[in-house]
Structure 1
Amino acid sequence: MRKAGSPQPRGPRPRSAAAADPPARPERIAKLLARAGAGSRRDIERMIAEGRVARDGVPLATPATLVMNLEGISVDGKPVEAAQAARLFLFHKPAGVLTAARDSSGRPTIYDVLPQGLPRLMPVGRLDLMTEGLLLLTNDGALKRALELPANAVPRTYRVRVRGEVRQADLEQLAMGVELEGVRYGPVDASIDRRASTGSANIWLSMTLTEGKNREIRKLCAAMGLEVSRLIRTSFGPFSLGSLPPRAVHEVPAGEVARLVRHPRLRAGA
């Protein structure tokens, strides 16, 4: 598992899709727009349904529309720039910021604390308000979707500080999968990482899952009678938080991103 260190010097800018070989056959507009960073597939499907995506000024009726490229395509009346090569960044999200573009209540979001000068980036999945640690960011909607897709089973590992009695039988049950309030979770690989200092009721757990349902770890711990006091994501797929400090960003080398994009499982999911 690769560890993130201090940011490395940037290499040459990746060439745009316009400079690359054209696709051999038409592709769905939603897929091309996602690759260009216009949003996730779900975002784009919603925008098309709202009449915000047009070709030569005519709103598109379906995200299944086939096109060879993005020439003449606009979103909200603005031409869509040619897709850039996929880029991926590791970000150490601090606790107390939302994984969102904006918040109606005025709470800070990741975009308020990200360093200046980054390209337009989308988060891969979410970390809730008080969860900290590794958050992947990408300019490529297709890569985002492939990494998030439950069918691709990309593992995420967390360190969890809890209060309460940790029972081995409960941890073994997590490995088999559990159902809470009609929702199926798991399997989750959970183990005791270490106990806190003598006299403390705190225990650190390591938990690895592949689905990432909303507040999954907090709900599973609550069902075991455990109170979560700190939650840190330490890895996502082959990428590790390592020594990356809070609020810092590290760009994954282009060669690693290219290998990831070519991975058979992710390519099928995209």
Structure 2
Amino acid sequence: MSRNDRSSGKNNRPSGSRGDRTSGGKQSGRQGGGSMKKSHARGNAPIKPKMEKSPLSNTEGIRLNKYIANSGVCSRRDADMYISAGNVTVNGKTITEMGYRVKLEDDVRFDGRRLNPEKPEYILLNKPAGFFVTGNPEKGGRTVMELISRATSAKVSPVGRLDNQAKGLLLFTNDGTLAKKLAKPKNGIRQIYQVTLNKNLSKEDLENIAKGVYIEGSKVLITSISFIDDKPHNEVGIELYSIKEHIVTRIFKSLGYEVESLDRVVFGGLTKKDLARGRHRNLTQQEVINLGMH
């Protein structure tokens, strides 16, 4: 067997390959698509088509399908499907390019809803008095972020506010969609407070509050208000849906009372049950679903 024959057998070349050269076989081999050594002749070198770079392409950041998958919308494979279908926009532009990369600060939307590439986190804190909810307005003042610093590495923010000396339930999340929904005045969210006043609340004022109180020309509707059983009449429970800042304090102040202690004991369907003061816990999946229905 010749050297060419042995080479042909070793590589299992099909008919028309280099190992079966006949008269004109070299030309036939090229046209037949057989395995051939790359020509060194400059004139025979394959011409690569020039690819134009998409004006939307970039080489930094995270792949768009991974960004979408991280947000919890769907798997990477499904994300590719939605991208190609035109369901995804980046900074206002529809992206259909596979492998497109985005940065964390980009505005990525799926069917119009902005996505967060971090895993959604929902943390409930039973806030003690003496902690600021936002900022650090006093030298040496402490914030609620210190109390949940070990709960998550995600960038979570409080939903709503509680005064420095106020106590009770405070929700933190990085789910911007839910946070905005709960913060909309027209939606409101059920809240129950236990309030201690500087003096006994008269029955007449209690009834007036129950009818609704006008604050800055706008009526604040009260779901219910009552004295707390076996407690002095300077301690009351009040339920409302308003999310206006300092609303409970302002209600009582409008009638000549000062709030000495304020404790939010219910927020949405969340309660302080088994959650000691200063402690926090993650919400269950069902609790998150229930909050989203408000």
C-alpha separation in 2, matches of 1:111 and 1:189: 32
Amino acid at match of 1:120: K
Amino acid at match of 1:144: A
C-alpha separation in 2, matches of 1:213 and 1:19: 32
Tell me which residue corresponds to 2:221.
Answer: 186
Q: Which of 105, 123, 139 is the matching residue for 1:75?
A: 105
Q: Which of 271, 275, 288 is the matching residue for 1:244?
A: 275
1:199-210 to structure 2, matched below 5 A, reads 203-210=234-241
Cα distance change, pair 165–83 in 1 and its aligned pair in 2 (3 A)? same
C-alpha separation in 2, matches of 1:117 and 1:165: 40
Deviations 1:76-95 (A, max 9, x none): 9xxxx952453321101111
Give the TM-score normalised by structure 2.
Answer: 0.60
Structure 1 gap segments, 5+ residues each: 1-14, 30-54, 56-64
Q: Root-mean-square deviation (CA), in Å?
A: 3.2
Aligned length: 208
Larger RCO, structures 1/2 (Cα 8 Å, 6+ apart): 1
Task: Give the conservation status (yes or no) of the 8 Å contact 1:194–1:203.
Answer: no
Task: Give the % identical residues.
Answer: 25
Deviations 1:191-238 (A, max 9, x none): 1113546xxxx6211111111212111111122232221110001111
Structure 2 gap segments, 5+ residues each: 1-68, 107-114
Task: Give the conservation status (yes or no) of the 8 Å contact 1:94–1:246.
Answer: yes
C-alpha separation in 2, matches of 1:26 and 1:19: 12
C-alpha separation in 1, matches of 2:189 and 2:147: 27
Task: Give the conservation status (yes or no) of the 8 Å contact 2:185–2:244.
Answer: no
Task: Give the conservation status (yes or no) of the 8 Å contact 1:94–1:131.
Answer: yes
Tell me which residue corresponds to 1:152.
Answer: 187
User: Residue 104 of structure 1: CA displacement?
Assistant: 6.5
1:1-270 to structure 2, matched below 5 A, reads 16-17=70-71, 20=74, 21-22=78-79, 26=87, 65=92, 71-75=101-105, 83-103=117-137, 105-118=139-152, 119-194=154-229, 196=231, 203-261=234-292, 263=293, 266=294
Deviations 1:127-168 (A, max 9, x none): 011100100111201111112222223111100011323223
SS in structure 2 opposite 1:126? coil
Give the TM-score normalised by structure 1.
Answer: 0.65
Task: Give the conservation status (yes or no) of the 8 Å contact 2:129–2:164.
Answer: yes
